[in-house]
Chain A
Amino acid sequence: MNFQRPESLKDSCNHYCPGCGHGIIHRIMAESIDELNIREKVIAIAPVGCAVFGYFYWNFDTAEAAHGRPPAVATGIKRVMPDRVVITYQGDGDLAAIGGNEILHAANRGENITVFFVNNACYGMTGGQMAPTTLLNQITTTTPKGRTLEDGWPVKICELLSPLEGTCYAERVTIHTPKNILKTKKAVKKALENQLKKKGFSIVEILSMCPTGWKVPAEESIDLIEKKMTEYFPPGVYKDV
């Protein structure tokens, strides 16, 4: 079995920090798109966040949306071109903060789209500020003494969206070990297949490393996922209709 760069991933060096999870997720997404043979049908939407330059790495049609708006943009595309595969790729701020209403209603309408939610518990692109998913006591640039309940609890997206009738599939996975990366790939592929089967709204929440935002070396960021992130954000299938 050969392990080589998938066609849906352009041959370029990305701008992500050493150890950042985006590169791994991009590759998994690209492999799945290749294996399902849907590259020519995909229209993806890049977020505002570190992955804003996704279109430099993804070898398929991509648009850049305003912060938080990908689910609404995806709705617009899917409604007029229902046979295309519409994907949104969003971070913590994009999906869970400013985009909270758009993701809620896209899920509620059962929009037949696929959402990849990259949860790294901070705002990477802007320098590591608190995100809705930042853990209690976690130090960020806007919680220099650690997050307190003054800012509320970390938001659990899979748990929030699963009860909605429109959500057909919600799974939380991680990419901090090879075994988990393979599990994530399975989830990613399933979320895409659901769209092909017209089952409704699918979301994969991926706990991802952010060594720069967490101010730790890359290898330590893997431990933080294992020890801290999965404790508060348990991986698992939350809905699978």
Chain B
Amino acid sequence: MGRDSSHMVKKVIINKTYCKECGYCRKFCPDKALRYSKAFNDRGYHPVKWKGDCSFCGICYTVCPEAAIQVKENEEALER
């Protein structure tokens, strides 16, 4: 379970259905901020989960073949 990220300016959003457990994001993430879930998605893969904090460098987005990871503004935090 990740930390409560509702106060952060940005957040990492992962589309669990699209993830195919290829491992690239985990391999290249400089902050080790991603790990596999225990649960399966519809395709039978363990999708990655974001631990809740990182440098928002965007490398995970860059290497993902599914465009399943996005790094964008956290609207919740901005609204405060």
> Could you tell me which A residues sit within 8 Å of B by CB distance?
1-5, 9, 13-14, 16-24, 27, 177-178, 181-182, 211, 217-219, 222
Known A23-B65, A181-B63; judge A2-B23 contact (CB<8 A): no
* B59 nearest CB across to chain A (Å): 5
B window 1-28: CB within 8 A of A = 17-18, 20-24, 27-28
Q: Are B23 and A218 closer than 8 Å at their CB atoms?
A: yes
B66 at the interface (CB under 8 A from A): yes
Give A5 to B23 CA distance when docked, in angstroms: 19
Give A22 to B67 CA distance when docked, in angstroms: 11
* B74 nearest CB across to chain A (Å): 11
**Most A CB within 10 A of own CB, among B21, B61, B63, B65:** B65
Q: Which residues of B contact A22 (CB under 8 A)?
A: 65
Q: Which residues of B contact A3 (CB under 8 A)?
A: 58, 61-62, 69-72
Q: Are B22 and A218 closer than 8 Å at their CB atoms?
A: yes
Q: Are B28 and A23 closer than 8 Å at their CB atoms?
A: no
Give A35 to B67 CA distance when docked, in angstroms: 17
Q: Are A24 and B23 closer than 8 Å at their CB atoms?
A: no
**New contact pairs (6) apart from A4-B72, A21-B65, CB-CB < 8 Å:** A1-B58, A17-B20, A18-B20, A18-B45, A27-B67, A217-B23
Give A38 to B53 CA distance when docked, in angstroms: 36
B73 at the interface (CB under 8 A from A): yes
A-B contact count (CB 8 A): 67
Proximity string of chain B (40-65) to chain A, C-beta cutoff 8 Å, 1 when within and 0 when not: 00010100000000000011011111
Known A3-B72, A24-B63; judge A19-B58 contact (CB<8 A): no
- Closest residue of chain A to B15 (Cβ to Cβ) is A13
Q: Which residues of A contact B22 (CB under 8 A)?
A: 18-19, 211, 218
Q: Are A178 and B63 closer than 8 Å at their CB atoms?
A: yes
Known A178-B28, A219-B27; judge A16-B65 contact (CB<8 A): yes
Task: Please name 25 pairs of A and B residues whose Cβ atoms are closer than 8 Å in the assembled complex, sorted by A.
Answer: A1-B58, A2-B73, A13-B17, A14-B65, A16-B65, A18-B22, A18-B45, A19-B20, A19-B22, A19-B23, A19-B65, A20-B65, A21-B65, A22-B65, A23-B66, A24-B64, A27-B65, A177-B28, A178-B28, A181-B62, A181-B63, A218-B23, A219-B27, A222-B24, A222-B27
Give A22 to B28 CA distance when docked, in angstroms: 18
Give A5 to B61 CA distance when docked, in angstroms: 9
* A181 nearest CB across to chain B (Å): 5
Give A155 to B25 CA distance when docked, in angstroms: 32
- Across the A-B interface, the 9 shortest Cβ-Cβ residue pairs: A23-B65, A3-B61, A18-B20, A19-B22, A18-B22, A3-B71, A3-B58, A218-B22, A4-B70
Q: Are A182 and B62 closer than 8 Å at their CB atoms?
A: yes
- Closest residue of chain B to A4 (Cβ to Cβ) is B70
Give A1 to B73 CA distance when docked, in angstroms: 9
* A209 nearest CB across to chain B (Å): 9
Q: Are A14 and B62 closer than 8 Å at their CB atoms?
A: no
